[in-house]
């Protein structure tokens, strides 16, 4: 039987702060395949995440039995490469004041202290932030645009710069993109579409550069929309999910598990020949050229081509 086997491998999942997003689902899928899991959590939500985990408020059950066990939680703000890059107003912010070691370099150093050598096999980039995401691009400020690019795209470059030497031979990195990288999605503004386009372009370049330097495979998943807590910032996420469910080639909404299983595959030896790829996991929405005509495109089960 051909299975995804990640036994003996360690994954670092950057961008986990609750149990509703793609990052959490990917962590669970990797754990189900046998990997040990470390996560990087944004400092402002770190204490809430830790308390929720300790009090059993997060959905940790794995299909087939057992539950997700997190080996170590690291504070991580991927906007900052090293301590000297953290502005004074951030250091003094009450959400950061009592948190230490949250820059990328500090997390790198902590992983080396905790595990030694080359402790990682898998890097998952589940990071995105666009402070002006609800603004049209034409109304986006330079600061908002650059923040979106920095937090959502350059953060992958910065993580691979420092984590690359920590990844064992055959290592893999995977990030999360969205169709706005190549098509217009009204309402997904603030420079986030540009950030996703940069992320996909960087994936191709990093596949070459990190492949030659570290033997690392780098891929991204263009995922359909998910009504996660973070996605609520978009302001129209429920409408986006509903639209995908009605107009995708498979007229249904993709789930977090769909994306997580694809990520586990890309990070496994079964995908050893795949790098530099944008993999669509959106029930085929990306192939559609127009809105589905309800009542004509039957699903084979007597239903109209979209409504559920």
CA-CA distance, 301 to 74, in Å (whole number)? 48
CA-CA distance, 6 to 269, in Å (whole number)? 8
Nearest CA to 216 out of 157, 304, 261, 260 is that of: 157
Give the active site residue among 102, 154, 178, 214. Answer: 178
188 flagged as catalytic: yes
Question: Residue 185 CB: number of other CB atoms within 10 A?
Answer: 19
Give the active site residue among 22, 96, 154, 188. Answer: 188
Contact criterion met (CB below 8 Å) for 210 and 157: no
Tokens 């079964």, located at residue: 270
Do strands 167-177 and 120-125 pair parallel, antiparallel, or not at all (unpaired)? Answer: parallel
Tokens 């504070």, located at residue: 75
The two tokens of residue 230 are 């973070």
- Beta-strand (E) ranges in the chain? 10-14, 36-41, 70-75, 120-125, 167-177, 217-223, 278-281
214 flagged as catalytic: no
140-144 contact pairs (CB < 8 A, 24+): 140/189, 140/190, 140/191, 144/190, 144/191
Angle separating helix axes 142-149 and 192-214, nearest 10 degrees = 30
Q: 262: number of CA atoms within 13 Å, CB side?
A: 24
Catalytic site positions: 178, 188
């Amino acid at each position: 039987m051909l299975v995804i086997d990640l036994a003996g491998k360690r994954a670092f999942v950057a961008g986990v702060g609750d149990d509703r997003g793609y990052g959490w689902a990917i962590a669970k899928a990797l754990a189900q395949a046998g990997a040990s899991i470390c996560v990087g959590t944004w400092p402002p939500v770190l204490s809430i995440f830790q308390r929720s985990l300790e009090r059993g408020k997060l959905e940790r059950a794995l299909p087939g039995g057992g539950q997700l066990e997190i080996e170590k939680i690291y504070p991580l703000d991927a906007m900052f490469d090293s301590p000297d890059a953290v502005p004074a107003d951030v250091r003094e912010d009450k959400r950061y004041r009592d948190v230490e070691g949250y820059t990328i370099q500090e997390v790198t150093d902590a992983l080396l202290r905790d595990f030694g050598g080359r402790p990682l096999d898998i890097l998952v980039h589940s990071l995105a932030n666009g402070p002006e995401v609800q603004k049209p691009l034409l109304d986006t400020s330079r600061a908002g645009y650059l923040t979106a690019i920095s937090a959502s795209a350059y953060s992958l470059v910065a993580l691979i710069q420092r984590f690359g030497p920590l990844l064992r031979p055959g290592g893999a990195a995977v990030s999360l993109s969205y169709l706005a990288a190549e098509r217009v999605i009204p309402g997904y503004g603030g420079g986030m579409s540009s950030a996703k386009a940069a992320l996909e372009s960087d994936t191709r370049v990093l596949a070459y550069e990190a492949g030659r330097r570290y033997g690392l495979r780098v891929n991204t998943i263009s995922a359909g929309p998910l009504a996660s807590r973070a996605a609520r910032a978009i302001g129209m996420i429920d409408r986006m999910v509903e639209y995908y469910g009605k107009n995708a080639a498979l007229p249904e909404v993709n789930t977090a598990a769909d994306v997580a299983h694809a990520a586990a595959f890309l990070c496994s030896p079964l995908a050893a020949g795949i790098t530099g790829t944008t993999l669509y996991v959106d029930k085929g929405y990306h192939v559609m050229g127009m809105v589905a005509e309800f009542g004509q495109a039957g699903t084979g089960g007597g239903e109209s081509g979209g409504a559920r």
